[in-house]
Amino acid sequence: MIEKLNIAALLPELILLVMAMVIAMIDLFDTSVRRHNTYVLTLMTLGLVAVLQAFDASEGATIYSFGNMVVSDPMGNWLKCFSTLSVMVTLVYGRPYAAERDMLRMGGELFTLGLFALVGMYVMISGNNFLVLYLGVELLALASYALVALRRDNATASEAAMKYFVLGALGSGFLLYGMSLLYGATGSLDISTVFKSVTSGHINHQVLVLGLVFVVCGLGFKFGVVPFHMWVPDVYQGAPTVVTLLIGGAHKLAAFAMTMRLLVEGLLPLAIDWQQMLMVLSVASLLIGNLAGIAQTNIKRMIAFSTISQMGFVLIGLYSGVVNGNTAAAANAYSSAMFYVVTYVLTTLAVFGIVMLLAREGFESEEIADFAGLNQRSPLYAGVMALCMFSLAGIPPMVGFAGKLSVLQALVSSGQTGAVALAVYAVMMSLLAAFYYLRVVKVMYFDAPITASTVTAGADVRIVLLINSGLLLVLGLLPGGLMTLCARAIVSTLGT
Amino acid sequence: MGLLSLAIWTPIAFGIVLLAFGRDEHANVVRWIALIGALFGLAVTIPIYHNFEIGTSALQMVESGLWMARFNIFYRLGVDGLSLWFVVLTAFITVVVIIAGWEVITERVNQYMGAFLILSGLMIGVFCAVDGMLFYVFFEATLIPMYLIIGIWGGPNKIYAAFKFFLYTLLGSLLMLVALIYLYTQSGGSFDLVAWYKLPLSMGAQTLLFFAFFAAFAVKVPMWPVHTWLPDVHVEAPTGGSAVLAAIMLKLGAYGFLRFSMPIAPDAAHEYAYVMIALSLIAVVYVGLVAMVQEDMKKLVAYSSVAHMGFVTLGFFIFNDLGVSGALVQMIAHGFVSGAMFLCIGVLYDRVHSREIASYGGVVNTMPKFAAFAMFFAMANCGLPGTAGFVGEWMVILGAVQYQFVIGAIAASALIFGAAYTLWMVKRVYLGPVTNDDVKTLTDINTREFFMLALLAIAVLAMGIYPKPFTDVMDASVTDLLKHVAISKLPQ
């Protein structure tokens, strides 16, 4: 169903955009230190939009609108729903943290920029046109650069913002250059048209592959996989933790969606080429991410390297889709990757939730050693953090295991040459990873506490954190629902 | 909910309740609830044993429900002759371990008791699972409580031990994960063990699978030369942790050989039987000798465990009735005996805080009741007729002689080494005159310790005198397993 101007398909985006501006205005009149009105209004907006997205997603319709520029399909809607929830949870965890660091006194930019970043993600997720996708990338990136630099008096934050900006601009440049080459070769910016022309086989293969290389590089920057990972540890460490969580959480969902739009929907006939590239990226990410992760003493840097290796697993899922031009395994592979990335974001949220909970005024709680003896101070939060670490390490029955299982299953059953060897390599790398995840558990449970102060949290943080960590276990024990959801979403996207 | 589910989830539910609501202020309530939970867990196994039908190799009390629809993973449970006794053993040892930790653990009692209860449920799950992935989930999940038990309540070098335990065993099981996924794709999308048993596989695939499973199970058993984690871990683990590790966790590995390696890759199992036999004999003889020179009692018993488990793997890979049933009997007997040995060391350690043999001498003079128990378990450990230790070893040696005389002869030599290191330790620790002030001031075991050791002593004695209930249960399943393993699965 193609309509020229279908507002309904973009209703949540429009609501979000309007509300972002309204909230920016209202914030001017909010004089409370913790930006109470802005906060509540932001959460209400996000809640409403998430519900609308979930509603659209369960309708299951694929609607192209605005002259084929954007698409609203179940995969996009679910990813938008999850990234909305992720931003929402981020803001809930992050408000006390931000308030203590004087980030809310001058204005509620954390909330408004967060909303604009989310609009950027929405555009990235639903774009069906190279330029629209690029606009989304830039909107998200600009909001994120500003967010990283939100504590302008803080030297590390400013340094991180600078690095993020320079390398992010480079990444966007790669992406744009790749898109322009593809445009030159196919004569269209529209992803569906590009797909048709590539399928026709009349296009010069070398030009396409040249463009493809640049597109993959750009996507690599957005995912933060090796060798495009240089910004990840510095930005994770330097940014205020709440912003780190935004970058480490919802961003990954948007990057995944854009990869699906560009590589799968646009360039599936070139799968044999981009799959090779993704495999190299994933092998390198698993190695570098996990080896460097072992050496870290700062928890945010450690999670940064862990993210790099976890994204390696997502790429394995994307790598397994097409075998010898046969796309029979595609739905299985891509839905595994989607499941992996969604559950990864869920785990990351809880991890940084705890990190921010332990951070107090004048004390960042960034060193792994700061977690010492957490079990004696607060068994509950230590338990939540342990759950996250075991989940990231992929130990059953946590949800991380279900993710690893589905990705490895997709890889092995794709039957590509060397698939089993790659699977063995991936699990051996997760053995390396287990070491540094276990170290966090060790510090919390086996070491003596350095401070006796108890950990306190507001009711909103506590409830969200409990639901979040509960989901890690529940989804690990009963992953069926989310797996089916991902599979359906991917099938409907591939079917069009 | 079937009986097997009840056996798995009862202790886990109690454990979760303790973790959530237990406080050190009312530690006694926590202890009693833990004991009630463990007893409930044991009580559930009685009807399981009672309802078990002897004389058939079929899986019994089967429960089946779809778990992860997308991968065709089922929550599929069942017991047969191979697994029945381990379910009972696990529940029994849990009760003993809860009693053993009663007074010793004073900090974070709820976490200690909760961890053991959850661990118990997970291990029963391993023995009951007949779906590959369900097995794997239980198998891996056991690492978490054990890691915490070693790391929180362990000795001075506990962190090293906890990491070594976790990473060493994880290394093996991750390879098994790939093997399971491979089997899943080969069997056309099924994790059903019974379907895997029927699946024809080429020799190359069987070899790779066999060694992937070998990586997981040999580390867990542990077989020489991947046994090095066990002494380190035993030395540092708290008494209860050591007891559970030796009594049950090692059996998870041996059980895996029977459930996975042999029936799924029978041709490879035959092909590489000589490797397994050689490694087992090295464990029996060489590790037995290593045990003799240990200064540390826990290390000594740990090495003795490796040697005894060598008998088990030897019994499996000689592929005859006597060997396999002997190995199974040996596993159960070793569960009782090694658990008891570690608890005895724990009794001494609680009083003197030393595991060194040299710190003791003449304990019998001040702790006569305890020394009698310790002596009895030591005898069982070296395989004295009339105790549980004898039956299994004797059956395996007979089986080995049937298979090849030389192997039987080498295996039999272990009885001598076993007697040597155990009795020498007994002599140095318990007998002779009192050597130092620590020993002089020892007080004999109290009612709780007496009760705990008596429970185990009765089990060891009963099994030694009348092993028929054990062998009867196994017979049909072992015969059927051997029949299955004898048939080649190579594609025609």
Sign, CA dihedral A405-A409-A412-A416, equals: negative
Q: What is the DSSP string of B88-104?
A: HHHHHHHHHHHHHTTTT
Written as six digits, the tokens of A173 are 């440049």
Pick from B148, B167, B185: which is nearest to A445 by CB?
A: B148
Q: Which of B296, B295, B330, B298 is nearest to B313 (CA)?
A: B330
Backbone phi and psi for residue A326, each to the nearest 5 degrees, phi listed first: -95, 125
How far is CA A359 from each of CA A97, A355, A453, B406, B425, rounded to the nearest angstrom?
A: 7, 6, 12, 67, 53
User: Are residues B178 and A423, on separate chains, in Cβ contact within 8 Å?
Assistant: yes
Given a cut of 60, whether residue B328 has pLDDT beyond it is yes
- Closest of B177, B249, B183 to residue B216, by C-alpha: B177
Q: Pick B140's closest partner by Cβ from A396, A435, A446.
A: A396
Q: Closest Cα partner for B211 from B251, B170, B265?
A: B265
Q: Do A446 and B68 touch (CB under 8 A)?
A: no
Tell me which of B126, B174, B175, B202 to substitute to probe the interface with A (most A C-beta atoms closer than 10 Å). Answer: B174
Cα separation, A186 vs A88, whole angstroms: 40
What does the CA dihedral B374, B379, B381, B383 come to, rounded to 10 degrees? -170
Tell me if residue B197 falls in helix, strand or coil: helix
Chain B environment of A396 (Cβ under 8 Å): 136-137, 140-141
Query: Each residue of B222-268: pLDDT tens digit?
Result: 888 888 889 889 888 888 889 999 999 999 999 999 999 989 999 99
Q: Which of A389-393, B67-71, B363-367 has the highest mean pLDDT?
A: A389-393
Q: Do B174 and A431 touch (CB under 8 A)?
A: yes
Using one digit for the tens of pLDDT, what is the confidence trace for B263-290? 999 999 989 999 999 999 998 889 888 9
A4 has a pLDDT exceeding 70: no
Question: What pLDDT does residue A3 have?
Answer: 52
What percent of chain B has a predicted confidence (pLDDT) above 70? 100
- Closest Cα partner for A83 from A254, A227, A208? A254
Both tokens assigned to B169: 């065993």
- Tell me the pLDDT band of A361, cut-offs 50, 70 and 90: low
Residue B51: pLDDT band (50, 70, 90) is: confident
Cα nearest neighbour of A335 on chain B: B70
How far apart CA A129 and CA A418 sit, in angstroms, is 35
Residue A496 above 60 pLDDT?
no
Q: Assess whether pLDDT exceeds 70 at residue B341.
A: yes
- Residue in the block written with tokens 């993704």: A278
Beta strands in B18-87 (DSSP E): 60-68, 73-79
pLDDT band at A1 (very low <50, low <70, confident <90, very high): very low
SS3 of A403, please? helix
Contact at 8 Å (CB) between A270 and A212? yes
Q: Which residue in A468, A472, A394 sits closest to B137, CA to CA? A: A394
Q: What is the mean pLDDT of chain B?
A: 88
Domains of chain B by residue range:
1-182+223-247, 272-487
Q: Flag whether pLDDT at B1 surpasses 80.
A: no
Query: CA-CA distance, B151 to B230, in Å (whole number)?
Result: 15
Q: How far is residue B447's CA from residue B12's CA, in Å, rounded to a whole number?
A: 28
Under the banding of pLDDT at 50, 70 and 90, the label for residue A343 is very high
Under the banding of pLDDT at 50, 70 and 90, the label for residue A22 is very high
Judging contacts by C-beta atoms under 8 Å, the chain B residues touching residue A484 are: 69-70
Nearest-by-CA chain A residue for B168: A431
Burial-class residue B180 by CB neighbours within 10 Å (0-12, 13-18, 19+): buried
Quote the CA–CA distance of B426 and B416 in Å, as a whole number: 15
Sign of CA dihedral A178, A179, A185, A186: positive
Q: Do A445 and B136 touch (CB under 8 A)?
A: no
Residue B416 pLDDT > 90: no
Give pLDDT, residue A62. Answer: 85
Confidence of residue B436 (pLDDT cuts 50, 70, 90): confident
Looking at every residue in chain A, the average pLDDT score rounds to: 89
Q: Does residue B258 contact residue B316 with C-beta atoms inside 8 Å? A: yes
Measure CB to CB from residue A446 to each of B67, B151, B174 and give the nearest one: B151
Contact B259, B193 (CB under 8 A): yes
Left if phi > 0, otherwise alpha if psi is -120 to 50, otherwise beta: which for B281? alpha
Spatial separation of the C-alpha atoms in residues A229 and A54, rounded to whole Å: 32
Q: Is residue A364 scored above 80 in pLDDT?
A: no
* Alpha-helical regions (H) of A224-329: 231-238, 241-248, 250-259, 271-294, 299-319
On the question of a cis peptide bond just before residue B225, with omega within 30 degrees of 0, the verdict is: yes
Q: Locate A52 and state its tokens.
A: 């609308």
The predicted pLDDT at position A5 comes to 63
Least confident of A106-110, A296-300, B301-305, B331-335: A106-110
Nearest 5°: the CA angle B381, B385, B388 is 50
Q: Is the pLDDT of residue A382 over 70?
A: yes
pLDDT, average across residues A255-266: 91
In B103-122, the residues whose Cβ lies within 8 Å of chain A are 108, 111
Check whether A444 has a pLDDT greater than 50: yes
Q: How far apart, in whole angstroms, are the C-alpha atoms of residue B258 and residue A287?
A: 35
Question: Which range has highest mean pLDDT (A193-197, B104-108, B153-157, B441-445)?
Answer: A193-197
pLDDT reading at A362 higher than 70: no
Q: Is the pLDDT of residue A115 over 90?
A: yes
pLDDT in tens, A151-198: 878 888 899 999 999 999 999 999 999 999 999 999 889 998 999 898
- The crossing angle, in degrees rounded to 10, of helices A299-319 and A330-358 is 170
Q: Comparing B115 with B70, which gets the higher pLDDT? A: B115
pLDDT band at A349 (very low <50, low <70, confident <90, very high): very high
CA distance A142 to A161: 11
- Judged by DSSP in three states, A256 sits in helix
Task: Spell out a b/e string for B114-136, using b for 16 or more CB atoms within 10 Å of the CB, else e.
Answer: bbbbbbbbbbbbbbbbbbbbbbb
The answer on pLDDT for B164 being more than 50 is yes
Render pLDDT for A388-436 as a digit per residue (tens, 0 to 9): 999 999 998 899 999 999 999 999 888 887 888 999 999 999 999 999 9
State the complex-level ipTM. 0.90
